[in-house]
Structure 1
């Protein structure tokens, strides 16, 4: 299968499952909270549902990667996204909202590992890093789309989620028509892994956890913080998600940078940029230039960082690309789930700037895990 054709359908699916189904919650949170009347702690807990669901789904996707075809898993991902978005659009209380967020979060976990397997089976080895990186950058497209629609629809968040549901239906149909049919499941590698692989994966796991905790506050509370701050222009809050999404397209270059400069260099760049984006938001958000620089840095570095984690994971678990992608993304999501809950608690106690500065410091700590297994 031509890698360009795979990117054309894979990127929109990731845009739907990540951008629309998962990260849109942070964008819509100010409007949802006003309508359903939620405290910051409740908002943080509901946000964690998405990450918990993601963790459950990505484990299931890895376990059954040799028993169910990648296309079937992707179909399930699209279906859960559609159902979850529909439930969110009609939610009248936090419980129903949490259910919708949970189901939509499941779609995210089911969508990434199958693409790693499909790329491994159908794309030339020298092009696999670029292909995985560009498919992964679909998150940025979905984020920019959510931001653009939110600006047009203002506080009509229910109608916005209905639009997202329609988009999800179209993207699912496109993937069903284009992806390879009945590909041999036996070709997907083995689920087994060696003790040596697990030993080499320890720095990857620790780094993924720290980075997940580090960026969770930004995804959940950055827009709410900017919209509430009296000294920050409203237009920055309105365009925040669009800036994050559009700049995220730069993250699609991760594969090319890795091929040219190596995994370790790419990792350092991504971690430094991601952590600095949170520090700038927490310390200098009242500066209009920083108000745009921070989300631009965050969007590009987050997608770049996840592309690096994909390449790192696959280089560790060489026999199972689905597992190689799934492990770092699973740990990243666990960190985001933990970070979302604690961010909500500390936001109530210390205020928003403190959680962004704290997140940046945790992110910088991940730099200590850059040498031992990255080459």
Structure 2
């Protein structure tokens, strides 16, 4: 299959499941709170439901990757996204909102591993890293689109989620028509769980977990923080998500960067950048330059580091690309789920400044790890 054609359908699906269905909550939270009054702890718990759902879904996708066709997985992912977004749009209580967030979050975990399998069996080896990285950058497109639609719709968050649902329906139809129809669901040989591979995955797992904790504060509370800073222009807060998303397109170069400079250099650069984005919010967020620089650094580095995790994971678990992608993304989401709850509590007790400084320190600690492959 032509890599460009696969990117053309895979990138929008990831945009829907990650950008619209999962990370949009942090963007829409200030507006949702005007209708459904929640404290920061409750907001953090609801945010964690998306990550918990992701963990459940990606485990399911990994376990059954050899038994269910990738296309079937993606149909389920699309339907989950559509239903979840619809429930969010009619939410009147935190419990109902949490249900919608959970269902939408399921779509994210189900959508990523199938593309890894499709790429591994339908794309030439030399193009696989770049194809996976560009599909993964769909998160940035979804984030930017979410921000732009939210600005156009002002405070109409319910109608915004209805628009997201319509987009999800369209993207699902396109994927259904374009993706390979008769790809075998059976893969020969082992499924990639050797002791050697597990030993080599240890640093990947720990790094993914702590990066998840570190970036969860940013995804959940950064925009709310910026909007409440009197020293930062309102337009910067309104366009905050768009800046993150547009900057995320730079993350699509992860595959090419790894090809040129190596996995270790790519990992260290991304950790430094994503941790610094949180540090800026914690120590000096109150002017135009830093208020703009922080989301640029975060958006580009988040997509970049997830691209690094994809290449790292697939390089470790060579015999099962879906499992290799699933492991770091699962652990990343687990860290984000725990981090969202902790972030809400820390924000309530100590405020946003301490929260973002603490998040950056956790991120910097992961520089001690070094990608190691078979």
Q: Would the aligned equivalents of 1:117 and 1:188 in 2 still touch at CA under 8 Å?
A: no
Cα distance in 2 for partners of 1:9, 1:227 equals: 34
What pairs with 1:129-278 in structure 2 (closer than 5 Å)?
129-187=129-187, 190-278=190-278
Contact persistence 2:10–2:175 (CA under 8 A): yes
Cα distance change of structure 1 residues 49 and 182 upon mapping to structure 2, 3 Å threshold: same
Structure 1 residue 350: Cα displacement: 0.5
Map 1:1-375; keep pairs closer than 5 Å.
1-187=1-187, 190-370=190-370, 373=372
Q: Could you tell me whether the CA contact under 8 Å between 2:17 and 2:81 is conserved in 1?
A: yes
The 8 Å contact of residues 62 and 113 in structure 1, kept in 2 or not, is answered as: yes
| Mapped contact 1:188–1:320 kept (Cα < 8 A) | no
TM-score where L is the length of structure 1: 0.98
Secondary structure of 2:218's match?
A: helix
4+ runs deviating over 4 angstroms: none
Instruction: Quote how far apart the aligned CAs of 1:235 are.
Output: 1.1
Partner Cα distance (1:188, 1:14) in 2: 28
Cα distance in 1, alignment partners of residues 192 and 56 from structure 2: 19
Output the aligned Cα RMSD: 1.0
Structure 1 residues 224 and 80: CA distance shift in structure 2, 3 A: same
Unpaired segments ≥5 residues, structure 2:
none
SS at 1:226 equivalent: helix
Query: Does the CA-based 8 Å contact 1:266-1:308 persist in structure 2?
Result: yes
Against the structure 1 CA distance between its residues 90 and 113, is the aligned structure 2 distance closer, same or farther, given a 3 Å change threshold? same
**If the length of structure 2 is used for normalisation, what is the TM-score?**
0.99
Offset of 1:190 from its aligned partner?
3.7
Q: Is the 8 A contact 2:81 2:168 kept in 1?
A: yes
What SS does the corresponding residue of 1:15 show, helix, strand or coil? helix
Aligned residues: 374
Whole-Å separation in 2 of the counterparts to 1:21 and 1:332: 17
Change (3 A) 1:195 1:40: same
Question: Residues 189 and 53 of structure 1: is their aligned pair in 2 closer, same or farther, counting only changes over 3 Å?
Answer: farther
